[in-house]
Amino acid sequence: MRLPALLLAGLWVAGGQAHAGLFSDDEARTHAQQLDVRTSKLEEASKQQVEINEQQATINKQQAEINKQQTHSMLDLQTQIEAQNTELRRLRGQNEELVHKLQDAEKRQKDFYVDLDARIRHFESIEAATPPAPPVAPVAQADKASDGKAEKTNDPAMENRAYEAAHGFLTAGNHQEAIKAFQEFLKKFPESVHVPNVHYGIGSAYFALKDYKNALASYQLLASKYSFSPKVPDAMLSMADCQRELKAVTTARKTLTQIIAKYPGSEAADKARKRLAASK
């Protein structure tokens, strides 16, 4: 009775130990599997982190390159702006200098004209204050008349200075002063060789002021009264311009045709031909 009982007890103990060992292996296997899963996840996460780091490094590199290019561009732009500012200051300085020189030139011309006018008036007052000569013999009177004529002859140097002063106003763009000076010249030197040019200058000044009616009158006076002047072809060309501006298109074409007929080899005739062709 004791032996079978001992055998049974031993079997039970052995079976319990075997069951306990089997249970421990399952837990170990489960833990091992869980550990593998965790390891795999960690490895995957590590790979992802490495990729993220690489991407971030690439982005940082690209950003650094962009920043470098932007910095370079900003430096170039700043250099260009500084160069433009320097050039602008230089141009402003030149402009101020030119304006100052122009003002000085106009002042000198005006002062010269005023001085010239004062001298002319002085000579006129002296001439007016001179008492008439007593009657003399006919021959002596003839000699005196000849002397008087010589005294009234215009001074060429004075004429030239007066004309240059008036023309200086025209060149400087002071057209109103130019007209005034030219008209004063005609009063003081009506027989001057500069008279045709003076009429042309008056016409040019009026044309610049867009006073086409007075400009046309000046050009027409020059063309009709001083037909010998080399300024006539250009004056007629300007006449056509005035007529066109005054809406007298047919008259302007007639004037251009007259230029070609009267002065076929002139530069004015070439211009007239081109304007006629353009107006068709």
Residue 150 reports pLDDT greater than 80? no
Number of H helices, E strands in the chain: 9, 0
The whole-angstrom separation of Cα 242 and Cα 239 is 5
pTM of the model: 0.50
Q: Which amino acid type is present at position 240?
A: A
pLDDT digits (tens, 9 = 90+) for 56-65: 999 998 998 8
pLDDT digits (tens, 9 = 90+) for 153-163: 457 889 999 99
pLDDT digits (tens, 9 = 90+) for 239-248: 999 999 999 9
Task: Please list, in sequence order, all residues whose beta carbon lies within 8 angstroms of the beta carbon of residue 241, skipping any fewer than 6 positions away.
Answer: 207, 252
The whole-angstrom separation of Cα 100 and Cα 69 is 46
In angstroms, the first-to-last Cα distance of the chain is 150
pLDDT of residue 12: 57
Contact predicate 202/190, CB 8 Å: no
* Higher-confidence position of 129 and 98: 98
Instruction: Classify residue 194 by its DSSP letter.
Output: T
pLDDT digits (tens, 9 = 90+) for 175-220: 999 999 999 999 999 999 999 999 999 999 999 999 999 999 999 9
How does 161-196 read in b/e, with b if 16+ C-beta sit within 10 Å? bbbebbbbbbeeebbebbbbbbebbeebbeebebbb
* Higher-confidence position of 84 and 181: 181
Which 3 state secondary structure label does DSSP give 191?
coil
Q: Which amino acid type is present at position 64?
A: A
The whole-angstrom separation of Cα 264 and Cα 86 is 53
Contact predicate 175/208, CB 8 Å: yes
Q: Which amino acid type is present at position 61?
A: K
Task: Please list, in sequence order, all residues whose beta carbon lies within 8 angstroms of the beta carbon of residue 18, skipping any fewer than 6 positions away.
Answer: none
